Structure 1
Amino acid sequence: MKYQGVLFDLDGTLTASGEGITKSVQYALKKMGRPDLGKDRKKLEVFVGPPLLEQFMDYAGFSEEEAAEAVKYYRERYNVTGIFENQPYPGIKELLEGLKEKGITLAVASSKPDQMVKIVLDHFQLDTYFDVIMGSDINRPKMTKAEVILQVLEKMNCLDEREQVIMVGDRHYDVLGAKEAGLSCIGVTYGYGTKEELLRAGVVKTADNTRELGKLLGL
């Protein structure tokens, strides 16, 4: 299908950000007196994608107040060092160039704080490919993925043309957020979620690499 607009998640979809995120979670858990919970960085990849507040509550059993403190510690490290322990996936720039050449409107919809999203995209010179870039409001730690997506659609003037727009993400949070906002979602398996997770959430298609993703998007 030829889409008029494509919304991309950031972490695990455009960039491989796991190292910076998991090391920053380790730092936060140590500061919270729970370094035992951060020994296995692979397990901490569950923090890639969802809002941090709820993930600290789910993973560590923190109260909301404790989780908010953990998020502050996380950002102490991430905002200085972790944000750059990151790199675009192979073929991402070529994919974005191809979509732009076809006149497709491109956007980023991420649960990462808005300022951090823009810093990452600028650092890797990916920002110029996108018509709309939006992350979550740092003052609203419970802001949902669906809320971010709806704000992006509004900026794209696509609220009434959702059938011509698709979301691309690597976790079930992306799929469910897209559904709630009235969009279908393509899942990428090269990120931090599994194919099974994505299929259970209801993706319309999956792509194992950026070349497959390009074909699904009409390249």
Structure 2
Amino acid sequence: MHYCTLLVDFDGTLFDTRNAIRKTLEALARRRGVAPFAVHLIDQVIDQGLSLVDMLAVLLGPADGLELPAWAADYRAIYNGGLGVAESAPYPGIETILQQMHEAGKELFIVSNKGEVSIQATLEQYHLGSYFRGVVAAVGDRAPKPGPESFFEQIKPRMRHGDNARVLVIGDTEIDLGYARSLGVASCWAAYGYGLASRCELLAPDFVILTAMDLLRLEDCRA
């Protein structure tokens, strides 16, 4: 199958942002005057691909549930204040991959449960924004994945064709693979990212890639 429209995740697929998230959470704990979050819990929520609000809900527990919007606002202020861009880096070969896909006529959308401001700032820093037709990101506590609404409301109307059989979701976590299932389209698991193999393999992705460069040979990466 020749896939024309690629819906690509950001964290753990295009960019390695684990250190940026860790350092932002460390700074958030200091700002809020609480004990640092346990490193293993931070890695756990990153590996699950949770949205910011859901991630904070896990880390804080039910006691601080009513203050989640304030915590989230502080997190975004720290991350978007420069730390996020400084501590993030594209996976090896990403610019080459995007350039070749763009030249091949594929239309690329970023679909991420991250906030758009942080995504756009990072794309601008690395001069990668021009390769994407759009960015579909979290708005407040509303995440675009895994439910299908974001696709039908923000992507489908902008697609150059109407054939869902030519749509491929690419991501590293169970959230991304669940998104593909909710749309009824093909999925590609970026196994080099953050997702837990035990959970992602259960969702039977159509393709598995072990490095970002494998995106250029998807037909050879069937699961």
Deviates more, 1:111-120 or 1:194-203: 194-203
CA shift digits 1:98-154 (9 cap, x unpaired): 21121111111111122222221111111111122221223xx13341333334422
Q: CA deviation at 1:86?
A: 0.3
CA distance in 1, matches of 2:70, 2:151: 27
Matched, 1:143 2:143: yes
The gaps in structure 1 that reach 5 residues or longer are none
Alignment of 1:74-153 (within 5 A): 74-84=75-85, 85-138=87-140, 141-145=141-145, 146=147, 147-153=149-155
1:44 is matched with 42
CA distance in 1, matches of 2:138, 2:14: 17
Q: What is the TM-score when the length of structure 1 is the normalising length?
A: 0.87
1:57 is matched with 57
Code of the aligned partner of 2:88 = N
**Counterpart secondary structure, 2:184:** coil
Matched residues, percent identical?
23
Q: Which of residues 188, 191, 200 in structure 2 aligns to 1:189?
A: 191
Give the conservation status (yes or no) of the 8 Å contact 2:112–2:144: no
CA distance in 1, matches of 2:116, 2:109: 13
Deviates more, 1:18-27 or 1:64-73: 64-73
2:71 is matched with 70
2:217 is matched with 215
CA distance in 2, matches of 1:77, 1:64: 20
Q: Which of residues 175, 178, 185 in structure 2 aligns to 1:176?
A: 178
**Counterpart secondary structure, 2:169:** strand
State the number of aligned residues: 215
Code of the aligned partner of 1:15 = F
Q: Which of residues 156, 163, 166 in structure 2 aligns to 1:164?
A: 166
Deviates more, 1:110-119 or 1:164-173: 110-119
- RMSD between aligned residues: 2.3
> Which of structure 1's runs of 4+ aligned residues deviate more than 6 A?
none
CA distance in 1, matches of 2:180, 2:158: 15
The gaps in structure 2 that reach 5 residues or longer are none
Give the conservation status (yes or no) of the 8 Å contact 1:26–1:39: no
Code of the aligned partner of 2:96 = E
Give the conservation status (yes or no) of the 8 Å contact 1:9–1:108: yes
CA distance in 2, matches of 1:32, 1:206: 40
CA distance in 1, matches of 2:183, 2:160: 12
Deviates more, 1:91-100 or 1:196-205: 196-205
Code of the aligned partner of 1:112 = K
Q: What is the TM-score when the length of structure 2 is the normalising length?
A: 0.85
CA distance in 2, matches of 1:165, 1:118: 23
**Counterpart secondary structure, 1:54:** helix
Give the conservation status (yes or no) of the 8 Å contact 1:107–1:152: no
Indicate how the Cα distance of structure 1 residues 115 and 148 shifts in structure 2: closer, same or farther if over 3 A, else same.
farther
